[in-house]
Each structure stands twice: as structure tokens, then as C-alpha cells.
Structure 1
């Protein structure tokens, strides 16, 4: 169990204990006041009976009548006092319950926003490594040779080299090498993905790489169904292959790395450390600035978008939560924005929507 889970469990346990004690205090206070009322009621009957007997006794009962009237006056004061005590105790206990409820809400929101931050941090750390991979592999001599020689042997060698890389880096569907016109001339898994001969000039990942001034930069295409890998969900990183493997050399072509997005993102959102009960009431997502769902415990990647009242204000915070209606349910909506890792930041949002159970 993670440290934040342990702390949350301890906080929840403490709040539950305080809530139970407040309920017990409320019940005991109410019982005590009711007992006082009962005793006072008997006292009032005695006082009335005493006044009746004193009246019958005439002159001899005058002294006793004074005592009976005093008893009656004290009884009325007790009624006023118990009424006041009942109102004040109920008010105090109600306020205590509200404080407990508020604290429970804050603990829930803080914990969920911490989990949201962990999710987006894990994704950005992983994608940072992917941005490093493509810049490193674009300097591989076999990539330069394949684009310089334009012979079948060098292209086959490049495909084999890409295949060796893929055997070591199982997070990728495929690696593709394009010439300067966007034609795929080699890929790491030619038997599985027949991308060779296709043209990628108009794809975002190819264009963004070609617009970079040096190999210190990289191109990118966010979550999409990539035709390079039979329309599976992918993220593509790209980098120019340059003459003599120099960072600022003449551009010969572009290397694209087709990353298996669902294997990372779905694994992270699905394994968010929530209890079984919480998971049944929660939706864990990664979304872009437009609200488009990029990862989702409900499995609606690119098919849904997340929008709710106060979204702009919440998204403006690095981390936080709000209590809002979502799909007609009272929910705690927790959020964290990507803070980035090293030189990389996706800029995406991590969101956890949890239904509030009625009390």
C-alpha cells in the first residue's frame, strides 16, 4: 500500500471514529434532557397537588402554599432551561457533523487529486523517455546509410536494425524510416505492419519533425488510430535523420517511433489505487485541453470528452478538486495538470470523477 493510501486510511478511520462519537454524544445528550423533562413533569404534578391541598387546608395551609408555588416556579425555569439546552446541544452537534463532513470531503478531494497527479506524472516521465529514444536512434548510422545509399541492401539492414531495437523496447508497435518526401523505406516489423511504400508527408508527426531546426528537437503526434499499425491507438514521436549523424546536418529523412499508447495509459488509469467500492463509483481519465478523452477506465478513448461546470477554474490550478454535478450525479472531481518531466511536458490533464454516496 502506498504511503498516501495509508495516510488516507488513517484519516478516514479517525473521522469515522469522531463521527460515531458525535452520534453517541447526541443520543446521550438527548436522553439526559428527556430524563430531566420527565422528572420535572413529575415535580410539576407534585406542585399542583400541593397547591390543591394547601387551598383545602385554608389558613393553616398558607405556608405550605408558598412552598408549592416556589416549586411550580422552579419547575417552569427548568422547562425553559432544558428547552434552551436541547436547542444549543442540537446546534453544536449539527455543526460538529458539518465539520466532520467537510473534513471528509477535503480528505477525499486531496487524495484523489494526489492520485491524479501521480497518473499524469507517470505518463510524462514515460513519454520523456520516448522523446529521448527517437532523437538517439535518428543518429544511428544504419538510418543514415539507408537514406544516403538508397540501395535495397542498406534499407534491409535498416529494417533489421529497427527490428533489433524493437526486440529490446517492447513499448513500441513499430519504428518507421521515411525519406525526405515522406515515403516509408524501412520498418522494424515488416511482416506484421506493411507500411513500406506508404507516404507519410501529410502526417503531423512527419511535418513537425521536418520543421525542427536540429536534432535537439523532436516531432510528435498525439493519441490517434495510426494506419501505420493497423489503426491501433498510438502516439508517434519523430526526429530528422541528418547527414553524417550531425544534429544540424542536412536533412535526409525522418524516423518515426510508433508508441503503444494503450499499454501505458490504460495500465496507469486502470491500476489507480482505489478500493473496489471506489472503483465502482469512479471514472479515471487523461484528457487534452479540449476535454477529449485520451485514456479512460470506461474505455471511451477518442470517443468522449469531459466537460463540467467550473472546469476552466479547476484546470487553471496545477492540482485541486471541486464538488460538482456530473451526469446528474453529485461528484468529487479531482484534477492535476502535467507539470512536465525534464524537457518534456504533454500538457494534458488527469481527471478522477467520483460519485458521492448519499448519507
Structure 2
């Protein structure tokens, strides 16, 4: 069994540190800066053309005046001066049209680059978020498979005595004191009745029937102790309605992975603190953070965590969501919530042998 990482070494308050190295300070991308510099150069060149043309028109006017004073002798010079004035008018028209077209092109280019840079940055951040989820939750699958072989757990279900149940509860309490990311650990017999839990003074779950719970049923269907059961984010009555992820493993005779199933060990992971820390601690500048929404959801769009507080009570409905979720990492710019938004997405890449298959979505209005 792989060694587990003690959550005490990675406090929940520090989980967001792993999200990104970017400080979140707003800055112009180098490509945007190049386009910005090009725009300034074009503006300066057009302004210089206009200045030269203004001088040319003034010179032409003066020439026509002098030609008029010279009478017949200045007639030919007057024609040249007139043509110069006409040429100046055309130059001014061309310069104005060039300035207008250049501005439109530069604006379009800046918007395109801005959208691409923003979308790429946010989709990278989304990938980091969901990757952090999978990496951390992989440890939970290791934890439950390891603890299900603990002699106190196996003996409790083998002996079925109050003394064995009490000792198992104490043992689970010791584990909980070291692994602070769990609300509780619960032990159920093969019929689905909770016979012991790690925090009996806090959660009165002993005697509760969980045979219909997904985490119990999936563990009972496993073919060996090397596999695990799971129930997605939900509010559990076993811990007074707190938000949990439930991982489980069958407890088998003698702690043997291929032994007869005696019951199920369930671990109730503190989902709220973990997930909400991730979505609420995005490394963005404050101006961005105030208008940016980060959501973790499943394939159906059920919101599992949300920086806007819709976790476990809503569904994310994005334009062309099936198309967006069809790729592992992408972004789009589209109308959402009455605003033009950059919507960045990444699907869980998985870690080791584990993947939630969930999605991270970051939504940011395009200024």
C-alpha cells in the first residue's frame, strides 16, 4: 500500500499556495506590449504625415498668393501651387482613412490577443485547481484501504463485542487526531449498521443504518480489499449535515485483501474546507478576483464547490457546455449572465491510479 501524506503537513489554509506561482498582479503580455508599441508608432507616423501635409498646404497657399501677385509671369507657378494644394487635400484624406483603419485593426488585434492570453491563463489556472483536487483525493483512497486492514477494525467486525467496538472507536479517534482533514471515520457491519465511529462524543452515528448509502454499497461490491468505494460531495447525516466526500473499503477476514467481507470502513472527508479554499483562493489581483467565479463541477454540471456560494445546491449551465467539456483543457469567449465572458475550463487529468473526472471552470467578464 502506498505511503500516505499526513494532512497535518499540508494545512487546509495553505492548500491555495499550490494553485499557481503567479502573484496575480495585472500586467500586459509581451505580445500585447508589442502591438501596443506598434499602435503608438503608427499614431506617431500618421501625426507626422499630417504635420508635414499641413506645412505643405500652407506653403501652397503662400505660393498661390505670390503667383497672383506676379500676374502673367506667375501663371505657371500658380498651376503648380494649385496642384500642391489638391495633393495636400488628398494626402489628408488618405492619412485620416489610414488612422481610422489602423485603429480598428489594432483594436481588433488587441481584443483577440487579450482574449487568447486571458483564456490561456485562466485555463491553466483551472487545470492547476482540478489537478490539486485529484492529487489530494488520491491520498484519501490510500488512507481508507490502509486503515481497513488495521487489526482493531478487523477484530471489531470479527468478534462483534462491545469491547472490540470500543477499542476500534478509540483507534479511529487516534487516527483522526493525526489526520485533521476528516470529519469522522465510521465502521459498518455487513448489514450496513454503524457499530463504531472515531468521534462518538461529537457525532452520534452508532446504530445508524447506512446500507443504502452509495459509499457502503460500492465498497460491498468490490472484489478485493485493494479497491475502494466512493460517494461524491454531499451533506451527511452522520456528521450533522456537514459537507463530505465519502471513501470506503471493505473490511475482510484477517485483513486479507481477498478474504470474506466482514463490513465496511468509511472515511468522511471534510469537503467544504478543502474545496472552498481552492475556489476562493485563486491567485488573482483583487480587481480580478471580485468579478471572477471559480466552480468545480461534475460531468452533469452539478456544482461541487463555488466561489459564489452555490456549492451542492445548483447546476452550472454554460453555453455549449458539452462542447466545452469534450476537450481536456480549453476556453471560449461568449455571453454568460448578460455579459461577454471568458470561460476557461479544464478536466481532471488524474493522479496515479485515481481521477475524479470532474471539471474546473473559471468565468471572468471581458472588460
TM-score scaled by length of structure 2: 0.89
**1:283 matched residue in structure 2:** 293
Partner of 2:47: 31
Q: Is the 8 A contact 1:182 1:199 kept in 2?
A: yes
- The farther-off stretch of 279-288 and 300-309 is 300-309
Query: 1:191-242: CA deviations, max 9, x gaps?
Result: 1000001100001111111111111111000000000000000000011101
Q: Which moved more, 1:77-86 or 1:314-323?
A: 77-86
For 2:130, the equivalent position in structure 1 comes to: 120
CA distance in 2, matches of 1:251, 1:308: 44
3-state SS of 2:22 partner: helix
Whether contact under 8 Å (1:195, 1:228) holds in the other structure is: yes
The answer to whether structure 1 residue 251 and structure 2 residue 261 are counterparts is: yes
The answer to whether 1:41 aligns with 2:57 is: yes
Residue 210 in structure 1 maps to residue 215 in structure 2: no
Does the 8 A contact of 1:22 with 1:97 survive in 2? no
CA distance in 1, matches of 2:207, 2:21: 51
What secondary structure sits across from 1:259 in the alignment? strand
How far apart in 2 are the matches of 1:20 and 1:251? 68
Partner residue of 2:337 out of 324, 327, 333 = 327
Which range moves more in the overlay, 218-227 or 307-316? Answer: 307-316
User: Does the alignment pair 1:105 with 2:125?
Assistant: no
Task: Return the offset for 1:330.
Answer: 1.1
Check whether the contact 2:61–2:81 (CA below 8 A) recurs between aligned residues.
Answer: no
Q: 1:177-326 to 2 correspondence within 5 Å?
A: 177-326=187-336
CA contact 1:308–1:325 (8 Å) conserved in 2: no
How far apart in 2 are the matches of 1:113 and 1:13? 16
Larger Rg: 1
Point out where structure 1 has 5 or more consecutive residues left out of the alignment: none
Deviates more, 1:22-31 or 1:179-188: 22-31
Q: Verify: 1:5 aligned to 2:53, yes or no.
A: no
C-alpha displacement at 1:164, in angstroms?
A: 0.8
Post-superposition shift, 1:31? 3.3
Deviation per residue, 1:332-356 (Å, 9 max, x gap): 1111000100111001000111112
1:347 maps onto 2:354 in alignment:
no
Q: Give the SS at the match of 1:5.
A: coil
Give the structure, 1 or 2, with the largest relative contact order (CA under 8 Å, sep 6 or more): 2
Q: CA deviation at 1:28?
A: 3.0
Aligned residues: 350
CA distance in 1, matches of 2:106, 2:356: 43
Offset at 1:84? Answer: 2.0
Is contact 2:182-2:269 (8 Å) kept?
Answer: yes
User: In 2, Cα distance between the equivalents of 1:101 and 1:9?
Assistant: 20
Q: Secondary structure at the match of 1:239?
A: strand
Distance 1:22 1:304 in 2: 47
Cα RMSD of the aligned pairs, angstroms, is 2.2
Q: Would the aligned equivalents of 1:116 and 1:334 in 2 still touch at CA under 8 Å?
A: yes
Residue 156 of structure 2: which of 122, 146, 150 is its match?
146
CA distance in 2, matches of 1:322, 1:285: 16
Q: CA deviation at 1:310?
A: 2.3
Q: Please give the alpha-carbon distance, in whole angstroms, between the structure 1 residues aligned to 2:283 and 2:46.
A: 42
> For the residues of structure 1 that align with 2:93 and 2:35, how far apart are their CA atoms?
25
1:326 deviates by 1.2
SS in 2 for 1:303: coil
- CA shift, 1:42, in A, is 2.5
Q: Structure 2 residue aligned with 1:94, among 99, 104, 109?
A: 104
Higher alpha-carbon deviation: 105-114 or 193-202: 105-114
Cα offset, 1:22, TM superposition: 4.7
- Kept in 2: contact 1:219–1:239 (CA 8 A): yes
Confirm or deny: 8 A CA contact 1:134 1:255 kept in the other structure.
yes
Contact 1:50 1:65 in 2 (8 A): no
1:37 deviates by: 4.0
- Native 8 Å contact 1:117 1:337 kept in 2: yes
